[in-house]
């Protein structure tokens, strides 16, 4: 897909993730995995047999999938679901899998209880491997599909022509006002170093996230223009500090740079669905704070890249 097509598809995907739960989420998961892998078996419930602890099986990789997508997340119910499905799978399908994959619809990432339970059951069953499959991994699977299959899974036509053009101040202003409203009280900012051309490499920002940041940098000067003036300059620093504090919180929970940027994108956009133009505006803002070094780390003076492309 072209960049604009991928961005449009991602918005539709996130809209689906906000709407799908329980049976509808399981149906989406089956459609996606069947389109992606010919060897995937979409196990359905059948009468008194039930599903025998499985919502899907991958034959060659010997993986068993268990879906959990409630309308309201409950730590207690998460534990019950994993324990119940694993117990049934071990009783009915022990010879059919070596890896147990817990599939969920939480946009924010893995619930702490999921991490705890998977860690506990891995200790109890060292002969098995345990994984989780959330929104990020589901999206990556979508992006491996050919265009026609992706449209079928997402239930929409993905425009061939670009749907997003230039970014103007009128696109950035609502998001910047949103950040102002949710900024956190904090001590004044310490002096920030200038962005280093190897910062993307140093922070291991690759793939789609790197491309999104590079595109955002083309328009990041508009953020400075928005905050031009004495009063707004103070607001700029306050918003930047809020961004930095949230970034530090996210980094304690996620180690993958792409996960961190995913969380920062939602910090800018909020939880509602947005048009493609606004999503692209969000990446302009992310690029701006990335360049200022409010988020991610500047490489030390002695650091040199090895084997990665430098930021042009």
Q: What is the residue-wise DSSP string for 222-244? A: HHHHHT-SHHHHHHHHHHHHHHH
Higher confidence at residue 273 or residue 299?
A: 299
Tokens 């998977």 locate to 118
Confidence of residue 138 (pLDDT cuts 50, 70, 90): very high
Residue showing tokens 């090895």? 306
Res 88 pLDDT > 60: yes
Give 103-131 as a DSSP string: EE--TT---HHHHHHHHHHHHH-TTSEEE
pLDDT digits (tens, 9 = 90+) for 222-252: 788 777 765 667 778 877 888 888 888 888 8
In the chain, where does DSSP find H-type helix? 3-19, 22-36, 75-92, 112-124, 135-142, 147-154, 169-182, 199-202, 207-217, 221-226, 230-253, 257-269, 276-292
Which has the closest alpha carbon to 138: 112, 159, 107, 114?
107
pLDDT in tens, 189-220: 434 445 556 788 888 888 888 888 888 887 77
Those residues with Cβ within 8 angstroms of residue 164's Cβ, 6 or more apart along the chain or in another chain = 4, 7, 276, 277, 280
Residue 308: is its pLDDT beyond 50? no
User: What are the structure tokens assigned to 29, written together?
Assistant: 């998961």
pLDDT confidence of residue 39: 92
Instruction: Return the sign of the alpha-carbon dihedral for residues 202, 205, 207, 210.
Output: negative
């Amino acid at each position: 897909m072209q960049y604009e097509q991928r961005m449009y598809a991602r918005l539709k995907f996130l809209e689906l993730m906000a709407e799908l739960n329980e049976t509808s989420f399981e149906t989406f998961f089956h459609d996606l995995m069947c389109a992606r892998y010919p060897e995937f078996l979409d196990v359905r419930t059948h009468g008194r047999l039930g599903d025998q602890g499985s919502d899907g099986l991958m034959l060659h990789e010997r993986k068993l999938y268990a879906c959990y997508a409630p309308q309201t997340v409950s730590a207690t119910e998460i534990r019950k679901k994993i324990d119940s499905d694993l117990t049934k799978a071990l009783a009915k399908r022990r010879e059919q899998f070596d890896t147990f994959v817990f599939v969920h619809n939480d946009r924010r990432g893995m619930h702490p209880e999921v991490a705890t339970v998977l860690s506990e059951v891995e200790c109890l069953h060292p002969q098995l491997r345990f994984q989780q499959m959330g929104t990020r991994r589901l999206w990556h699977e979508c992006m491996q599909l050919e265009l026609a299959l992706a449209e079928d899974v997402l239930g929409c036509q993905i425009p061939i022509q670009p749907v997003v053009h230039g970014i103007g101040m009128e696109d950035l202003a609502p998001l910047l006002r949103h950040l102002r409203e949710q900024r956190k009280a904090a001590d004044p900012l310490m002096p920030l170093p200038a962005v280093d051309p190897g910062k993307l490499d140093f922070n291991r920002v690759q793939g789609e996230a790197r491309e999104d940041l590079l595109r955002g940098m083309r328009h990041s000067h508009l953020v400075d223009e928005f905050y031009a003036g004495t009063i707004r300059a103070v607001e700029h620093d306050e918003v930047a500090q809020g961004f930095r504090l949230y970034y530090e919180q996210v980094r304690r929970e996620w180690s993958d740079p792409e996960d961190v940027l995913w969380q920062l994108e939602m910090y800018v956009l909020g939880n509602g669905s947005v048009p493609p133009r606004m999503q692209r505006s969000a990446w302009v803002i992310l690029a701006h704070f990335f360049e200022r070094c409010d988020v991610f780390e500047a490489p030390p003076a002695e650091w040199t890249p090895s084997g990665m492309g430098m930021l042009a």
